[in-house]
Amino acid sequence: MPANLTPQYLEVELKFKQAKTTPEKIKALEVMMAVIPKHKGTERLRGQLKSRMAKLKEELQKRPTVARAEQAYNIKREGAVQSVLLGLPNSGKSSLLSRITGAFSEVADYPFTTRKPIPGMMTYENLQIQLVDTPPIQLDHIEPGFPNLIRNADVLLLLVDLAEGPLFQMDILMKELNEMRIKAVGKGPIPSMESGWICLRALVVGNKCDLKNAMEEYRKLGNRFRDTFPMLPLSAREGMNFEELKKEVYQLLDIIRVYTKVPGKDPDLTEPVILKKGSTIEDVALSVHKDFAAKLRYARVWGSGKFGGQMVKRDYVVSERDVIELHL
């Protein structure tokens, strides 16, 4: 039976053939399906159009859309602290992640090897610190999803290659953070920010200190930044200063570790309770269970500068390494 296709149909069919992108093809195909005469003679053709449409839609799904790219930037927080590595291409971010956490991130001496963030875990004493490797920071270009990843971090590690003009690299990092309305601060009080802005703790890390002249460059970097940020030279390749790096990250955070114990037993020193500096006995109780905080009568504390087992009230401010026995 002849199909007797109308000129209207043939016109959109031509459009379909000329379409270059999948969305354009889908659009044209939709019109074709709408205008094709619906009779026995076009039955087979209509079937073909339908399956073609299904294929095109599938193709569209497979593509990394902006939303999908953004999703890659949603890194699940793990451990007590999240730190994010930021740096220009080839500064050594992936090398550092691999060496210090054992997580796999491709390392190569050409730029843009890392296309999405990759997390790993490092251990500092009894603390788990998540480290996230990221795609390189680029001048005047910000990947969607990247600002959010950074904003959610507790600490930023600004990694510069000491052999490739570290001052210039820092300029670009600061400029792009500024574009994202992120202010990196070292130690000291967190300034109050305009709305839309966020303030994050940051550490400047000079990588490749194993290379010739690197320490000279590091000193120049220090002249400009040591009053603003804690700094550290390091070699991701040689594994130099890794313990110091973890310690610096820990010290940058305004946190303390305390331990809880039950009467008559020793505390479990492998499971610290992580609290903000200035936290009280009540906060300790809250971190255990909210009922504990409500029922709390007093606590006993062991730690430096107190009598062992000293009795304290709920508003007592705890300090690093205190051992606390809660009494309900």
Residues that bind ligand GDP (CB under 6 A): 87, 89-95, 107-109, 113-114, 136, 207-208, 210-211, 235-237
Nearer to ligand GDP, 113 or 319 (CB): 113
Q: What does the alpha-carbon distance between residue 154 and residue 157 come to, in Å, rounded to a whole number?
A: 10
Neighbouring CB atoms inside 10 A of 297's CB total 9
Q: Report how many helices (DSSP H) and strands (DSSP E) the chain contains, helices first.
A: 11, 12
**Could you tell me if 4 and 37 are in contact, meaning their C-beta atoms sit under 8 angstroms apart?**
yes
> The tokens of 203 are what?
């550490």
Chain position whose Cβ is nearest to Mg ion: 114
CA–CA gap between residue 148 and residue 269 (Å, rounded): 34
**The one-letter amino acid at 65:** T
Nearest to 137 by CA among 103, 96, 168: 168
Which of ligand GDP, Mg ion, none lies near 235, with the C-beta cut-off 5 to 8 A by kind?
ligand GDP
CA distance 121 to 104: 11
CB 216, min distance to Mg ion, A: 26
Which of ligand GDP, Mg ion, none does 237 bind, CB closer than 5 to 8 A by kind?
ligand GDP
Q: Which does 319 bind (CB under 5 to 8 A by kind): ligand GDP, Mg ion, none?
A: none
- Minimum gap (Å) between residue 94 Cβ and ligand GDP: 3
Residues 6+ apart with CB under 8 A from 202: 155, 156, 157, 158, 184, 185, 186, 229, 252
- Shortest separation between residue 139's beta carbon and ligand GDP, angstroms: 15
- Which of 117/136 has CB closer to ligand GDP? 136
Task: Specify whether the CB–CB gap between 88 and 169 falls below 8 A.
Answer: yes
What, of Mg ion, ligand GDP, none, does residue 108 touch, CB below 5 to 8 Å by kind? ligand GDP
CB of 107 to Mg ion, least distance (A): 7
Nearer to ligand GDP, 23 or 102 (CB): 102
Q: List residues binding Mg ion (CB under 5 A).
A: 93-94, 113-114
CA distance 159 to 132: 12
Q: Which does 91 bind (CB under 5 to 8 A by kind): ligand GDP, Mg ion, none?
A: ligand GDP
Which of 115/219 has CB closer to ligand GDP? 115
